[in-house]
Amino acid sequence: MEFFNGQHWRRLTMDDGLIWNDVAENGFFEDTDGSVWIGTSNGISHILEPASLTAPNTLEVAITAVARGAVAQPQASSYRFNYKNKLSLSLYLATLNAPTRTTLQYRYRLKGLERDWVSSDRPRVDYPPLPPGNFTFEAMAYDPDNRQYSPVVQLSVRIVPPWWQRTPAVLGMLTLLALGIVLAWHMRTRHLRARARSLEALVASRTRELEVDKQALEVARAALWQQATHDALTGLPNRSHVLDILAQAMRDARKQNQPLAVALIDLDHFKRINDHYGHLTGDAVLIEASARLRAALPPGGTLGRYGGEEILAVVPNVPRHDPAPFEALRQHISKGVFGADDAHVELTCSIGVSWLQPPDKDAFDLIRRADTALYLAKTEGRNRVVAEGERWEPS
């Protein structure tokens, strides 16, 4: 039976003293003494004090006991347990200040593990082994007959993690990890620095070796160049090199519009020296003659061994028909005896000179005219200078 007391509806059942839960049609009667007769299919219930049915009941719920792993725990406002993988958690509930009703329900949740409320008519709540963390158990009772909720009760439960998961241990492990990383980085850096120093030393050593090899190569290249371009006996440029020098001098003279003279110098009767004193003495005389000619050569001039006892002189900036530079060469040869291996040799030379002319196509045109002048100097008695038909008698 349901009735309204002016504020809210309420359901009356056998839990409230009725003989049965249903009410017969027109089975409600109020007596003169204020009591109420209620007829049901199972009989008549007589309510002596109807006002007691509308008296408000304060519905409360309480957590009466806590057990972990089937072991009851002392009553406390909060609990702190060490983590153990196989220990479940059980909580026992009870209602206060409310009659016992078969329809009474409990609603609960474990915050930190559950978000939604769970409904049950059992006063016991069981949880499997909880992970480490902080949880709050919340519970309330619900009377569907009176549409009434009890206040929510709370109980804090903390599951302490194993020592290796606790903050000090984690901080310690992180510290050890950081120290390990720093140590590994330091060792790696030290290794890299040592490796860098080793590589620097190796590079420096190799650089020095390369410098030495480079210098040796340059010396060898210079020696090869010297052998390829200079006469081994006199040290003068050889025929090929002096011809290159003459070709470049011709280009420079034409470009700068300057005179250029070429002289072919032949040592007179040089074969007699070889035949009389030997080739070693002849070589010594040829070396000294080259040195004398080099000392008397005008600035900018070049001497080259043209062949045998013939020497080619390339002399730029000598005015045409000026015999002075070539007469000086002749005099340096004949000014004194040549002393070689206890031999005292007197020597003279014949010189043929030519100057660069516009018709000259190459160096051989210039040398050919100098050779013609040299031939005239020899046929006219040697020991003289002849330049393209002009003769100068020795002084």
Tokens linked to 237: 């440029």
| Active-site position among 114, 211, 218, 309 | 309
Read off φ and ψ for residue 88, nearest 5 degrees: -85, 170
End-to-end CA distance of the chain: 169
Contact, 134 vs 112, CB < 8 A?
yes
Tokens linked to 381: 């008695």
Is 309 tagged catalytic? yes
Q: Considering only CA atoms, which of 98, 178, 181, 172 is closest in space to residue 140?
A: 98
Point out which residues pair with 302 in neighbouring strands.
314
Task: Give the sign of the dihedral formed by CA 277, CA 280, CA 284, CA 286.
Answer: positive
- 70 vs 179: CA distance, rounded Å: 45
- 109 vs 14: CA distance, rounded Å: 31
Q: Considering only CA atoms, which of 108, 145, 123, 143 is closest in space to residue 18?
A: 145
Tokens linked to 220: 């060898």
Q: Which residues are catalytic?
A: 309
